Amino acid sequence: MSSLALKGGWVVTQNSKREIIKADVLIEDGRISQIGEVGKADEIIDTSNCAIIPGLINAHTHISMTLMRGIADDMNLEKFLEKTFKVDAARTPEDIHLGAELGAIEMLRSGCTSFVDMYYGQDMIAKAVKDSGIRGFLGWVALDEQFTTQKGSPLSNCENFIDSHKGQERIHPLVALQGVYVCSEETLLKAKELAYRKDTLLHIHLSETRKEVYDHQAKTGKRPADWLYDIDFLCDKLLAAHCAWLTMAEMRKMAEKNVSAAHCPISNMKLASGFEAPIPEMQALGMNVGLGTDGCSSQNRLDMWGEMKTCALLHKVQRLDATVMNAQRTFDMATIEGAKALKMGNELGSIEVGKIADLAVIDLRHPAMVPTFPENLISNLVYSCQSDCVLHTIVNGHVVMRNGEILTLNQKEVVEKSQLISKKFF
């Protein structure tokens, strides 16, 4: 059993006490085995003048859309969807795989070790996950057959993907649904049954735009979350993305059913989908809320640092209250609360003995991070840190980026191929 020691850093534990301690971290067999003074190890990384943090968790994205970066900017939502759906329909499995490799590199370089994905072609994305070393919660998207460009039944495709990939290292297959606007009650309940039968998460876009809410209200007489509650779809396996247009009554129903949420502030701002999601209210009701970037066709970057800062600032200015979303609460959303939203709070999201060793090492002597002391470390992580402050990224106990160099994929080759192949989409 090989061992890895991170020595001399400030450990941002994210444990229940949110302790920050000067300590070594010993990793054995992919898990954290000791926090304190560590003696010998097979491999030692000097983390003096560094912070060791839990790997960031991107709670909602579409990783392969990296190849669509900048393809539909400054458009209203209807034109944006028209453009992106047209490209989506023309993409090959090889395009999906390459886009996933590019996205994995971008996330690993920023210290993001886990992501939740919603897309088709997840078998190709799973291959990129395996090769890159990142951790993927991968949902093959399901919707009514009349609306899909997939071959065969989307729900059957999803079930086949789960059966063929469940139990594989760093791959967590799940059931994903596009949204109420293309999913009938029958499709939704079959998807829920599938998630329980296979013991996976259930993921859906929910109340992302005012139009989605008003259209559904006109069709059914009910707002989306109210309707999902009434048809008995809401459940503790559900992770709902966006949630920008919820009433207090809807949030109470979601909290009653232990639904979790993924907040995507930059995507919602860029598409002018609405004001900030009511995160403080969700959290006050006891809901677990993670942070997500959404896909690069709308957000342009898979950067959780930007997402954290934007989340905090957006809530402050919207509520005219500088205290409403503080740095610690925001960092929680990208780490331990994100893990809880994925039902992985006992495995990920904090640095504690026994947990999976998904970690990132931050250079505290990077100009953007100076001065840093324990008293302002969390604030600096949320408001000052950027991707190039990340020195090393560790997933499942394996170093996948060392000193800013990706060790698992050929970054230069992936970048050059991505630049070349994307020309056909523009």
80 pLDDT higher than 90: no
**What confidence score (pLDDT) does residue 81 get?**
81
| Band of pLDDT at residue 87, cut at 50, 70 and 90 | confident
Average pLDDT over residues 282-300: 97
CATH classification number, 56-341, choose in 3.60.15.10, 3.30.70.260, 3.20.20.140, 3.20.20.70: 3.20.20.140
Could you tell me which of 368, 349, 309, 324 has the C-alpha nearest to residue 12? 349
Verdict on whether the full-model pTM lies above 0.75: yes
- Type of residue found at 236: D
Burial (CB < 10 A; 0-12, 13-18, 19+), residue 354, is exposed
| Band of pLDDT at residue 150, cut at 50, 70 and 90 | confident
| Band of pLDDT at residue 77, cut at 50, 70 and 90 | confident
CA–CA–CA angle 46, 51, 56 (5° rounding): 115
**What confidence score (pLDDT) does residue 199 get?**
98
Residue with tokens 């190039």: 388
User: Domain ranges in the chain?
Assistant: 3-54+349-406, 56-341
The DSSP letter of residue 247 is -
**Four-residue CA torsion sign, 78, 83, 88, 94:** negative
Counting residues of the chain whose pLDDT is more than 70, the rounded percentage is: 100
pLDDT, tens digit (0-9, with 9 covering 90-100), for 222-246: 999 999 999 999 999 999 999 999 9
Element containing residue 270 per DSSP (H, E) = helix 265-270
Average pLDDT over residues 204-228: 97
Please, what is the average pLDDT of the chain?
96
* DSSP-H helix ranges across 133-209: 154-165, 185-198
Structure tokens at 50: 């560094």
Average pLDDT over residues 113-140: 98
| Band of pLDDT at residue 319, cut at 50, 70 and 90 | very high
**What confidence score (pLDDT) does residue 422 get?**
95
User: Three-class SS string for 3-18?
Assistant: EEEEEEEEEECCCCCC
**What confidence score (pLDDT) does residue 79 get?**
84
pLDDT, tens digit (0-9, with 9 covering 90-100), for 57-67: 999 999 999 99
| Band of pLDDT at residue 85, cut at 50, 70 and 90 | confident
Residue 143 contacts by C-beta under 8 Å, 6 or more apart in sequence? 154, 177, 178, 182, 183, 187
pLDDT, tens digit (0-9, with 9 covering 90-100), for 7-49: 999 999 999 999 999 999 999 999 999 999 998 999 999 999 9
Neighbours of 232 (CB within 10 A): 12
**What confidence score (pLDDT) does residue 426 get?**
87
Q: 56-341: same fold as 3-54+349-406?
A: no
**Four-residue CA torsion sign, 344, 336, 267, 100:** negative
274 pLDDT higher than 80: no
Average pLDDT over residues 248-252: 98
pLDDT, tens digit (0-9, with 9 covering 90-100), for 253-267: 999 999 999 999 999
What is the C-alpha end-to-end distance of the chain, expressed in Å? 49
- Burial letters 177-203, b for 16+ CB under 10 A, else e: bbbbbbbeeebbebbbebbeebebbbb
pLDDT, tens digit (0-9, with 9 covering 90-100), for 325-373: 999 999 999 999 999 999 999 999 999 999 999 999 999 999 999 999 9
83-87, 167-171, 268-272 — most confident range: 167-171
192 close to 235: Cβ distance less than 8 angstroms: yes
Could you tell me which of 87, 155, 178, 175 has the C-alpha nearest to residue 421? 87
| Band of pLDDT at residue 185, cut at 50, 70 and 90 | very high
289 close to 339: Cβ distance less than 8 angstroms: no
CATH classification number, 3-54+349-406, choose in 2.30.40.10, 3.20.20.80, 2.60.40.2310, 1.10.1740.10: 2.30.40.10
Cα–chain center distance at 213: 24
pLDDT, tens digit (0-9, with 9 covering 90-100), for 189-204: 999 999 999 999 999 9
**What confidence score (pLDDT) does residue 217 get?**
98
Average pLDDT over residues 393-409: 98
**What confidence score (pLDDT) does residue 149 get?**
82
SS3 of 209, please?
coil
